[in-house]
Amino acid sequence: MSEQIQISDRGDGVAVLTLDRPERKNALSIALRDEISDALAELASQDGVKVVILTGAGSVFCAGFDLGEFGRIGEREFADRIWASSDRFHRALIEFPLPTIAAVNGPAMGGGCDLALMCDLRIASEAASFSHPEAAFGTVAYGLLHDLIGGSLARELTLTGRAVDAKEAETRGLAVRVVTADALQDEALDLARSIAKRPRDVLLSDKQKIIRRSRHLIRGTLDL
C-alpha cells in the first residue's frame, strides 16, 4: 500500500493523484518519486482512465527534491539511486500517454516546479507560486519552460531564480486559470472532465504529439 501518495477515482475517466507528504512539504524523496512513477504506470494501463490530476496535500504543492537525501550525494551507491529514480520519474511524467493537469495548491519549488511544468496543463490556487530557489546549485527545466512562456521570460527565471506568483503565472500562460484555494479541486475536476468527454483513443493520439514535442526539447530526462 502506498504511504506517500493517495489515488482517487473521481468518475468520468478522471483520477486524482495526491502527493501526501505534507510534513515534508511533499518533498520528492526517492520513495515518493518511485511511488509516483509506479502509480502513473498503473493508471496508464487502466482503460477507464482518460485524465490524471496531480496535486499536493497541505499548503505546499511540492517543495522539490528532498534536500536531506542530497546530503548523501557523495555516496556513490546512494547517488546512483537518486539519479536512477529521477530519470524514471521524469520519464514517467513526460511520457505519460494521457493528459495530465497539475492542480497547484501552493508553492511549487525546484523539482516541484518542474513537476508542474511536466504536466500538460496547470490550474493554480491564489496561494500558488512557481520558483527555483535552489538556483545556486540546481537547474531549471528550461526547455519545457521556454516552450510554455517564451524565451525572454524563461531566460530571466532560469538565470535569476525569481518566483512567479499565481497572477503572473496566469498572465504569462504558465497557468490556464487561477482560482481560490477552496475552488481549486472543483475547478480542476471541471477542466479534467471537459477533456475526458473526448474519446480515449483521440486523447492518446493527441498526447503522442505533445510527447514528441517534449522529447524534441530535451536531450534526456535529466537535462530538461
DSSP state of 129: E
Strand order in the sheet with 177-179: 5-9, 14-19, 51-56, 100-104, 121-125, 177-179
The DSSP annotation for 56-108 comes to: ESTT-SB--B-HHHHTTTTSHHHHHHHHHHHHHHHHHHHT-SS-EEEEE-SEE
Say if residues 54 and 17 touch (Cβ distance below 8 Å): yes
| Sign of CA pseudo-dihedral 20, 142, 85, 9 | positive
Catalytic residues: 134
Task: Write down the residue that cell numbers 519552460 correspond to.
Answer: 145
CB atoms within 10 A of CB 92: 20
| Strand 129-131 with 164-165, pairing | antiparallel
Each residue's pLDDT tens digit in the chain (224 positions)?
Answer: 468 999 999 999 999 999 999 999 999 999 999 999 999 999 999 999 999 999 999 999 999 999 888 778 788 898 899 989 999 999 999 999 999 999 999 999 999 999 999 999 999 999 999 998 865 556 778 888 999 999 999 999 988 889 999 999 999 999 999 999 999 999 999 999 999 999 999 999 999 999 988 776 666 555 66
Stated pTM of the model: 0.94
